[in-house]
């Protein structure tokens, strides 16, 4: 079908792009303002919008405005103080397209635009919010968002909208897993094989090129899939009819993100909260570290196998972690009790801003416990002849094994084909075995210059059971978390061979659904 389309690009009237509904569209008049990403031109989203308009034209007349957000401070970027005026101007421009009343209004945004558009001051007057390659930031977590919201991520987004961050958001709205009603109201979907760059067409911004992974689907197919998903969300909220598309897409996404959510739960990720809860959770020792408990129950197996009884408790600490010194105590019932301590390292500034281009999970999971020999001594059990003190490397192997066992099958196959190996090195320590220095030191990560393997090295501090250190028998580790291992395998290990910047021939074009080119006036 040929379609004559006039697009407005005029600074004197409206600075941006307007895409009127197809001439053969029918149904209620619907308006959408679309906030572009940083360093992305509004017209780069045109073909994706045209596919959307075609998808819904039998149900509604969808008009779309894409204002240009730009300042001399940060050109071509939707800064927070620009959102309200720009969105208002976009809706005002849409009002000019038709004499019919625009009964339904939606606000959409991509990347930076998808993160900031939800802050629009009149959002509660709209019928829905759409965040693409983005998510509702944690600032909305406790109170919830006032209107239905669709969030769409790309599986091969290597930036802030990566699978792990979308998994955190999925858990916020689906804390018990897939929910049929929630799938219609607040659907969260990850498009498999798609990259962040494919939310638009044409050259991607430099930041996206640096962070993205080469997609495994064509851009035109990505746009058609987006049209199907966004179109379903529009129909649900305009026509008040449930969508099989949203149900199936959210179900599929639930399966994809499940192992990511579980690894964040295991490490006690403080931002893994559901809507209505305070975020982040306190790190004052009241929260448990399930992964530390799993690790340490495996660690003490030689004692329990020899007939000893050991009870381990766990607490996650922040600044007070340095002052935790686990000591085994024999209880009256013959049970040895040890209170372990855990500390997860995060970039607190990045977590506060909620825009992170690296792995989301802790990059250094520290825990304090006691040497195995100390446990045997406290339990009054003779050490076996094959006694061996476990190492931080042993614990890192547990995390890596867990990640490999739970990585989704398609991602495991991708890592096998394109990913660099993750190599675990023998433990290192800190100068003089100094406690405060160990606390300030994180798990070590590097790249082997010859093999290109990602190397992981635990940092240990220990004190012989019969030694003269202040806390004899202590054993402390900075170790790998299963969530960080999952991010390494699914994303970070692909960068050398599959980073978007390694493919200068990547074609991100999409001619759109219309044979006749758009006319710019």
Q: Is a pLDDT exceeding 80 seen at residue 422?
A: yes
Mean pLDDT score, 496-508: 94
What residues have CB less than 8 Å from 331, skipping those under 6 apart?
Answer: 311, 337
Q: Is a pLDDT exceeding 60 seen at residue 503?
A: yes
Q: Is a pLDDT exceeding 60 seen at residue 65?
A: yes
Rounding to the nearest 10 degrees, give the CA dihedral for residues 429, 433, 438, 442.
-10
Q: Is a pLDDT exceeding 60 seen at residue 1?
A: no
Task: Provide the pLDDT for residue 343.
Answer: 98
User: Residue 101: pLDDT band by 50, 70, 90 thresholds?
Assistant: confident
Mean pLDDT score, 132-161: 97
- pLDDT tens digit sequence for 292-301: 999 999 999 9
What percent of the chain lies above the pLDDT cut of 70? 95
Task: Provide the pLDDT for residue 462.
Answer: 87
Nearest by Cα to 231 from 17, 59, 5: 59
State whether the Cα torsion 37-200-354-454 is positive or negative: negative
Cα–Cα distances (Å) from 227 to 55, 169, 246, 346, in that order, read 6, 22, 12, 36
Task: Provide the pLDDT for residue 334.
Answer: 94
Task: Provide the pLDDT for residue 468.
Answer: 60
Task: Provide the pLDDT for residue 504.
Answer: 87
Q: How far apart are CA 121 and CA 123, in angstroms?
A: 6
Task: Provide the pLDDT for residue 12.
Answer: 41
Task: Provide the pLDDT for residue 406.
Answer: 98
User: Residue 465: pLDDT band by 50, 70, 90 thresholds?
Assistant: low
Computed over every residue of the chain, the mean pLDDT equals: 93
What percent of the chain lies above the pLDDT cut of 90? 88
The DSSP string of 93-151 is: HHHTT-SS---EEEEEEETHHHHHGGG-TTGGGSSEEEEES----GGGTTT--SS-EEE
Task: Provide the pLDDT for residue 3.
Answer: 40
User: Residue 466: pLDDT band by 50, 70, 90 thresholds?
Assistant: low
- pLDDT tens digit sequence for 222-280: 999 999 999 999 999 999 999 999 999 999 999 999 999 999 999 999 999 999 999 99
Residues in a beta bridge with 106: 32, 128
Q: Is 190 exposed, middle or buried (0-12, 13-18, 19+ CB in 10 A)?
A: buried
Q: Is a pLDDT exceeding 80 seen at residue 10?
A: no
User: Residue 378: pLDDT band by 50, 70, 90 thresholds?
Assistant: very high
Mean pLDDT score, 349-363: 89
Task: Provide the pLDDT for residue 489.
Answer: 98
- pLDDT tens digit sequence for 384-416: 988 899 999 999 999 999 999 999 999 999 999
Task: Provide the pLDDT for residue 463.
Answer: 81
Number of helices followed by number of strands (H, E) in the chain: 17, 17
Continuous segment of H or E residues that includes residue 63:
strand 61-67
> Under CATH, domain 6-274+516-520 is a member of which superfamily?
Alpha/Beta hydrolase fold, catalytic domain (3.40.50.1820)
Q: Which tokens go with 378? A: 């406290």
Mean pLDDT score, 377-382: 95
Task: Provide the pLDDT for residue 440.
Answer: 96
* Ranges of each domain in the chain: 6-274+516-520, 290-490
Q: Which tokens go with 384? A: 């076996």
Q: Are strands 519-520 and 6-7 parallel, antiparallel or unpaired?
A: parallel
Rounding to the nearest 10 degrees, give the CA dihedral for residues 364, 442, 347, 359.
-40
Q: How far apart are CA 490 and CA 485, in angstroms?
A: 9
User: Residue 516: pLDDT band by 50, 70, 90 thresholds?
Assistant: very low
Q: Using alpha carbons only, what angle is made at residue 108 by residues 102 and 109, rounded to the nearest 5 degrees?
A: 150
Q: Is a pLDDT exceeding 60 seen at residue 517?
A: no
């Amino acid at each position: 079908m040929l379609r004559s389309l006039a697009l407005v690009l005029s600074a004197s009237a409206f600075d941006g792009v307007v895409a009127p509904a197809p001439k053969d569209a029918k149904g209620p008049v619907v308006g959408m303002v679309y906030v572009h990403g940083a360093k992305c031109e509004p017209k780069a989203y045109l073909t994706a919008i045209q596919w959307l308009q075609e998808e819904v034209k039998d149900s509604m007349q969808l008009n779309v405005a894409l204002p240009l957000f730009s300042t001399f401070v940060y050109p071509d970027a939707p800064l927070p103080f620009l959102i309200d005026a720009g969105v208002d101007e976009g809706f005002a421009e849409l009002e000019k397209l038709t004499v019919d009343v625009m009964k339904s209004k939606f606000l959409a945004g991509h990347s930076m635009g998808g993160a900031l558009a939800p802050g629009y001051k009149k959002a509660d007057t709209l019928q829905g919010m759409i965040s693409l390659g983005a998510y509702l930031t944690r600032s909305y977590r406790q109170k919830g968002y006032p209107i239905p919201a669709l969030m769409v991520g790309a599986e091969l987004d290597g930036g802030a909208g990566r699978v792990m961050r979308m998994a955190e958001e999925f858990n916020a709205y689906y804390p018990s897993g897939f929910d049929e009603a929630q799938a219609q109201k607040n659907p969260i979907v990850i498009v498999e094989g798609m990259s962040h760059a494919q939310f638009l067409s044409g050259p991607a911004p430099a930041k996206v090129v640096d962070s993205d992974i080469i997609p495994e689907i064509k851009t035109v197919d990505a746009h058609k899939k987006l049209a199907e998903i966004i179109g379903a969300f529009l129909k649900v909220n305009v026509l008040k009819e449930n969508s099989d598309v949203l149900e199936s897409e959210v179900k599929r996404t639930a399966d994809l993100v499940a192992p990511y959510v579980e690894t964040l739960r295991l490490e006690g990720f403080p931002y893994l909260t559901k809507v209505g809860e305070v975020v982040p959770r306190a790190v004052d020792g009241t929260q448990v570290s399930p992964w530390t408990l799993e690790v340490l129950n495996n660690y003490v197996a030689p004692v329990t196998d020899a007939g000893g009884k050991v009870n381990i408790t766990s607490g996650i600490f922040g600044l007070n972690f340095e002052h935790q010194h686990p000591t085994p105590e024999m209880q009256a019932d013959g049970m040895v009790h040890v209170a372990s301590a855990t500390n997860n390292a995060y970039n607190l500034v990045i977590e506060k801003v909620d825009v992170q281009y690296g792995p989301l999970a802790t990059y250094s999971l520290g825990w304090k416990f006691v040497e195995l020999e100390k446990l045997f001594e406290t339990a009054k059990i003779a050490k076996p002849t094959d006694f061996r003190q476990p190492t931080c490397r042993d614990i890192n192997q547990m995390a890596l094994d867990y990640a490999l066992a739970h990585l989704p099958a398609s991602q495991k196959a991708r890592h096998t084909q394109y990913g660099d190996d993750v190599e675990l090195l023998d433990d290192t320590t800190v100068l003089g075995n100094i406690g405060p220095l160990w606390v300030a030191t994180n798990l070590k990560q590097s790249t082997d210059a010859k093999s290109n393997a990602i190397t992981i090295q635990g940092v240990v501090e220990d004190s012989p059971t019969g030694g003269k250190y202040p806390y004899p028998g202590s054993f402390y580790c900075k170790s790998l978390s299963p969530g960080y291992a999952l991010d390494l395998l699914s994303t970070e290990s692909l960068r050398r061979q599959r980073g978007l910047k390694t493919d200068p021939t990547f074609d991100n074009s999409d001619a759109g659904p219309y044979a006749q080119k758009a006319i710019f006036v």
